[in-house]
A and B are shown apart, each in its own frame.
Chain A
Amino acid sequence: MRQPLESRMLQVLLGPLVTALYLFGAYVLLHGHYSPGGGFQAGVIFGAALLLPLLVHGRFARRRGYLLLSQSQAITLGAIGVMVYALMGIEPMLVGRPFLDYSALTIPAGAAHRRSLGILGIETGVALAVAGSVVAIFRVLQEERTRQPKPDTPK
């Protein structure tokens, strides 16, 4: 995975494809109220957009301008996603309403619209969490070297 692929076609196609993936992921996330989609699907699409440059360019992906996350950066992104979700749930508690009661969020809008925006907020959190976790899992599994075998292990 660290050696870039030799195919010129893949390298050229990668740019528009990754852009389309990011855009499509954002669309799926934002339009999840009205069409099939939502946080989980968008998160996986973002994860794919983050991983494709790694497959094609290897460690040179950053040099070509693609966003590439290391293991710890990816899992931090995942943690941020879970935090966003949890904070959106805690915020109503600050005004004395139950946990995850979106109709009590402090947004100037009607109750139904507040719930709709609350759903959007947590779906964003879910998308970040899933994207981060998926990228972290992939990066960990394709890493070149892990712990060396113990010297006293008979081979």
Chain B
Amino acid sequence: MNLTLEMVLSLCLAATALAIVCTRDLLGLAVLLSAYSGLIAVLYSLLGAVDVAFTEVVVGAAISTGVLLALLRRVRAKITPPMRPLPVSPRPFGRQQWLAIIVALAIAAVLIEGIHALPRFGDGSSPPQRHVAAVYTSRAEADMETPNVVTAVLADYRGFDTLIETSVVFVGGLACLLILRRERPSRQHRSEHATTA
């Protein structure tokens, strides 16, 4: 793994995340999130997670951005050109923001301490690498003629988890539908309106 490339990519990602948090422009926010997804997909590829990178690119850069823009279009008119400048109200920085900074720094400190305690990066003898993963890898080709071990794990060895996760995605779509369902007037109302109209 090319350390310089990783360092540059990591700095870009950190900068993009900072921009996402601080930006005032909502359309720019959607574009920044899309760019962040693209960059992190490159990082996933560098770290060897090609399936995850593929998913992140299609989901983050395409669908998530589209969904975000659909929402913005409905709650804030005029984000399509010609764009009207956003009202420049000063951002409040009071107790809530200070609390947020303290909590974020505390969590960052806990994370740094925890990372320090993790096994050495890429260690082949750490517990996650040794037990189940080795079994899956050695048996995937023979068991089900699937060289893609991630698909084999996802669809067969951990197929029950994937079934439930798929239903979670479906339930999410269903929940969206139910939350924003337009109510049709009941038959009673309709007949009342018919007699009074």
A residues at B contact (CB < 8 Å): 1, 32-41, 44-45, 47-48, 51, 55, 71-72, 74-75, 78-79, 81-82, 85-86, 89, 99-100, 102, 112-113, 115-116, 118-119, 122-123, 125-126, 129-130, 132-134, 136-138, 140-147
Interface of A is mostly: helix
Total interface residues in chain B, CB < 8 Å: 45
Could you list some 16 contacts between A and B, CB below 8 A? A37-B51, A44-B55, A48-B66, A78-B173, A78-B174, A79-B170, A81-B170, A85-B163, A100-B160, A115-B156, A116-B144, A122-B155, A126-B166, A130-B166, A136-B174, A138-B67
Question: CB within 8 A of B162: which of A47, A71, A75, A122?
Answer: A122
- Residues in B whose Cβ lies below 8 Å from that of A130: 166, 169
Assuming the A-B contacts A102-B156, A118-B156, are A136 and B173 also in contact, with contact meaning beta carbons closer than 8 angstroms in the complex? Answer: yes
Question: CB within 8 A of B54: which of A41, A55, A116, A143?
Answer: A41
Interface of B is mostly: helix
Cβ-closest chain A residue relative to B53? A36
Q: How far is the CB of B77 from chain A (nearest CB, A)?
A: 12
Contact A38 B151 (CB under 8 A): yes
Contact A34 B54 (CB under 8 A): no
